[in-house]
Chains A and B, each alone.
Chain A
């Protein structure tokens, strides 16, 4: 689903990613581990081009999204992302947070299809929907997802009134509203109080059980061991180890990984 070829990222003179090759298949749950400053967050942010790669290719559904000519927005709609600091829109209610992007995209599609119809070109009849239908559909999806994480009664409040754990759960379902093919998690529990980590991990766990493709940067070793189908260890911009959780945690080969695990376990 995602194929990374020889990815390099350089900030000024600081080489953060140094030739990463990686393939992520449908249904895989990949956890990326590494000491701080190792480039794991940068790698994740490169996967949806939040950081533009210095060189190399990133293929998403066989389209090179690292190419500046590609309309990155279309592809990002299918790549959900969850941030360390939630990044919920502060000026929107929870429900508006969730429906904003789906409505925006559907409106754009409808406009395009109408134009194509007007000029007698082929178009997808399903795309032509009234604003009312679009809003209703987006709202329905949003409410359904909200109730799945037990926050349906918070639909009309502003994010600032929610706890960190609640905000992160909203952020996860906000990304799910776009029906993404893959979800990227950038340290989703690092900014949370310890007692709220569990509720967020539970949501991620149930997502994993449903077969969602996930790429997770985290420091939660328990989660990695239990949920991941594959664990990557990154240091100094290189993938040093790549294997099942069992292989990586129980029989680490690279000395740097052995050292890392010793320190944290």
Chain B
């Protein structure tokens, strides 16, 4: 029994050695850094695009539906949301990279496509989060603004959305975490992310155990750091609510 364990541990030590050798001596760490960078770019820019799109969609969806243009935009938005929520993100990536862009004859890097698709995709989810946030703001806030002679959009921008954002910070954090984890599929279109970097490390040494373990550890560290960040932001926002 003891003998078996020692062999396993010894074996594991050897695996770590192989992994480290590849990482340091064969410059494997460069690919990991690039993967880390791409993962961060895709997640952060994706979230940013998603927030912009999501806010716009949410604003359209809560607007009063008197005018034709609003009803039209509303229909467009619901088609958009049902497409991006109704198909897997891998499918969207493949569609954009292998179908849409070649069809319109545009040459675009796989990282850029990933940023775009993650932005559009999270936009659909964030629009629902944002809509909930806007609806959670007391109706009186909108009435107060409108009664002063501010337009619907001005009241939305200055009064309602800032309060809605405060309400949805925790949910938004979840969305960001989900986004970071989902980036692990961008290698479907050939982008180098964390998964690809560690996968390459494994393929080169025929040894997958340690690389994948390291990958999981890096993901979890990133997510924990972000959770911490969200907590700090949340606390700060609450403070401005109560103070004075």
Contact = CB atoms under 8 A, between A and B. Distances in A.
Interface in A33-56: 48, 50
A175 B144 CA distance: 10
Contact of A100 (B148, B166, B243): B148
Given A68-B66, A73-B150, A105-B149, A87 B144 contact: yes
A91 B162 contact: yes
B41 to A, nearest CB: 32
Contacts of A81: 147
A98 B65 CA distance: 30
Contact of A77 (B148, B241, B243): B148
B143, B144, B240 pick with most chain A CB within 10 angstroms: B144
Contacts of B240: 158
Contacts of A79: 147
Contacts of A160: 241-242
Given A76-B147, A77-B149, A104-B150, A83 B66 contact: no
A160 B163 CA distance: 13
A83 B143 contact: yes
Given A90-B163, A158-B241, A76 B149 contact: yes
Interface in A85-131: 85-92, 100-101, 104-105
Contact of A101 (B140, B148, B241, B244): B148
Contact of B140 (A77, A83, A91, A156): A83
Contacts of A83: 140, 143-144, 147
B158 interface: yes
Contacts of A90: 138, 141, 163, 241
B11 interface: no
The range of chain B's interface size is: 20 to 34
Contacts of B143: 50, 83, 87
A81 B242 CA distance: 27
Nearest to A87: B144
A68, A74, A104 pick with most chain B CB within 10 angstroms: A104
Contact of B148 (A74, A85, A161, A175): A175
A94 to B, nearest CB: 10
A79 B148 CA distance: 8
Q: Main SS of the interface on chain A? A: loop
A157 B144 CA distance: 19
Interface in B147-166: 147-151, 154, 158-159, 162-163, 166
A178 interface: yes
A48 B146 CA distance: 10
Interface in A230-253: none
Contacts of B148: 76-77, 100-101, 174-175, 178
Given A83-B143, A87-B141, A90-B141, A101 B150 contact: yes
A91 B163 contact: yes
Contact of B145 (A80, A86, A89): A89
B133 to A, nearest CB: 13
Nearest to B244: A157
A74 B146 CA distance: 11
Contact of B166 (A80, A91, A175, A178): A91
9 contacts: A68-B66, A78-B149, A87-B140, A100-B150, A100-B158, A101-B148, A156-B244, A158-B241, A178-B149
Interface of A: 48, 50, 68, 73-81, 83, 85-92, 100-101, 104-105, 156-158, 160-161, 174-175, 178
